[in-house]
Amino acid sequence: MIIERLKTMKPRTMLMIAALLALAVVGSLLYRSGLLGSAQLSALLVGLGCWAIPAYMGIFAVGQVINIPAMVFIVLAPLVFGVTQGFMIAYVGALVSASITFCMVRRMRGESGDDGSQSMKWAWMQRVLDGAQKRPVLSVALLRSVMGLSPVLNYALALSPLRARDHMLGTALGMLPFAATITFFGSRI
C-alpha cells in the first residue's frame, strides 16, 4: 500500500517528505544530544532583544516541523519572557505552530491524493476523530487538551476531513488549558 502510494506521488512531494524526515531526524538528534535544548534557546532569545518574540514564534514553528517537543518551547517562554507574557507568547506560538503543521500536511495530502480516511492506531483517538464530523471544534479541543501538540495528533487532524477553521477554533480552545498548565509549572523550574 505504501509502495503503491509512493509510485503515484509527484517528485516534488517525495522530495518535501524526504526533507521533512531528514529535518525531523536532525532535530531529534540535536535535542537528544543536548546541543539544542532550553538553555541554548533561552540564551539565543535573550540576545535578540526586540526580535525575541518573532524569533521564538519562528523557532517554535520550525521546531514542531522537525519534531522538537512542543513542551520545550512552552516551558521556555515563561523562563525568557516572564510568566504572564510567556504564557501569552507560548499560547500564540502553539497556535501558529499547529496551523503551520496542519497546512503543510494538508498540502502534501492534497498532492498525494489521500482522502484522510485512514484509521488511527489508537482506538480512543479514532473514536474522537469519528465524532469530529458531528462536533468538530469540541473534538479537536478535547484532543488538544489531552495531547497538546503531539506530532501524531497534528498529522491525524491534518489527514482527517476536518475543516481548517474548525481545527483552528478547537486548537485555540484545547491549547488554552494545556499551555496555561505547562507555563505555570514550567515557570516553577
- pLDDT tens for residues 88-135? 999 999 999 999 989 988 887 764 444 545 555 567 666 766 766 788
Contacts of 173 (CB under 8 A, 6+ apart): 137, 140, 141, 144, 145
Of 134 and 187, which is predicted with more confidence?
A: 134
d(CA 111, CA 11): 10
When pLDDT is cut at 50, 70 and 90, the band that residue 29 belongs to is low
CB of 141 within 8 A of CB of 174?
A: yes
Q: In whole numbers, what is the pLDDT of the chain averaged over residues?
A: 79
Tell which residue, 99, 92, 114, 139, has the closest CA to residue 2.
Answer: 114
Tell me the per-residue pLDDT of 42-100, one tens digit each, with 9 for 90 and over. 777 778 888 989 988 998 998 888 777 888 888 888 888 888 999 999 999 999 999 99
Domain residues of the chain, as ranges? 2-186
At residue 187, the pLDDT reads: 66
Amino acid at 62: V
Of 23 and 73, which is predicted with more confidence?
A: 73
- Range picked from 83-92, 133-142, 153-162 for highest mean pLDDT: 83-92
